[in-house]
Amino acid sequence: MKSASDVSTTGQGRETWLPLLQIASEEVFDIMLGAKLEPLAEASSLPPSEITSMVGLAGQLCGVLTLRCTVATATLMASKMLGVAPEQADQQLWDATGEICNMVAGNFKNKLTGLSDKCMLSVPTVITGGDYTFHSLADAGTLEVMMMFENHSVVIALEVHS
Amino acid sequence: MDKIRPLIVDDSSVMRKTVERSLRQAGIDLAQVLEAGNGAEALGIVKESAVDLILCDINMPVMDGLEFVRQLQSAEVVKRAPVVMITTEGSESHVVQALSFGAKGYIRKPFTPDQVKEHVIPVLERQS
């Protein structure tokens, strides 16, 4: 797996974080789901999110990592992770998306040299439904990657506290 | 190698199934697979049941994986059942702590069946 030094030679500045988040996401989907994430061609074509998984980061890096997708996408993730048909995986979609979100968060922080020891992850929380407003206390911006996973869109975002 | 009876400790049932699947894909012959959702449940299982290998997450509610391994160190069963951590926590301090508590291996999530094989087979061979 790639680390920060593979992505940028300019040190550990924030400019490396977005590509690292993208690589961390791609690796998790590739290794755990056997699926290639592709860049999303058009952000306006995103369907409304129905599932939101969240993992908190605390310590030197504080923030929240979220993974948003539809129920169909989450079911496909669970099915790929378990190696079963989607109709056999629909009761596992919350667990699966929570774990994928957790692995993306862990993989991302492990790529930031020197940070891994100084940042803890929370257990995942998964929200069903899209009629909510997310009020993060993050005040240092949001990194967001929008990807296609087997013709389904997935949005992975990191809300960063200063 | 004989069939082994693993205990998989993770608060995610999907991850427990994924670890079991990876063990099978790694060519490890499994007898009954035991599962626990946290360290406290796992301690209860190892006191009651014979276990050949324990694969354990770190971040779990009730009792985390490091505390489980620490408490297991004083139990007789740890001599028969080596522990391999499987976790998103990839920091050096977690690795050092887990190994100092008696864990025999450390796998970072995400993981491939080949990585499971690479870390688990030597541990099982040393144990037999």
Q: What is the ipTM of this complex?
A: 0.88
Disruptive mutation site among B88, B97, B106, B112 for chain A (greatest number of A CBs within 10 Å): B88
Inter-residue contact A26 to A18 (CB < 8 Å): no
What digits encode the pLDDT tens for the residues B58-90?
999 999 999 999 999 877 655 668 999 999 987
What is the token pair recorded at A80? 């790929």
Q: What is the structure's pLDDT at A132?
A: 82
Q: What is the structure's pLDDT at B78?
A: 57
Which chain B residues are closer than 8 Å to A103 by Cβ? 88, 109-110
Strands A62-69 and A51-59: antiparallel
Give CA–CA dist A148/A135, Å, rounded.
Answer: 26
What is the token pair recorded at A40? 């999303």
What digits encode the pLDDT tens for the residues A112-142?
877 778 888 999 999 999 888 877 776 778 8
What digits encode the pLDDT tens for the residues A76-92?
999 999 999 999 999 99
Using the 8-state DSSP alphabet, how is residue B58 labeled? Answer: S
The beta strand positions in B10-113, using DSSP E, are 34-36, 53-56, 83-87, 105-108
Residue contact B17–A82, C-beta within 8 A: yes
Task: Provide the CA B12 distance to its chain's centre, in angstroms.
Answer: 14
Give CA–CA dist B68/B71, Å, rounded.
Answer: 5
Q: Which of A50, A76, A67, A46 is nearest to A128 (CA)?
A: A50
Which chain B residues are closer than 8 Å to A117 by Cβ? 91-94
Least confident of B13-17, B63-67, B124-128: B124-128
Residue given tokens 């100084």 in the structure block: A118
Give CA–CA dist A162/A139, Å, rounded.
Answer: 6
Which chain B residues are closer than 8 Å to A121 by Cβ? 59, 88-89
What digits encode the pLDDT tens for the residues A45-77?
788 889 999 999 999 889 999 999 999 999 999
Residue contact B12–A98, C-beta within 8 A: yes
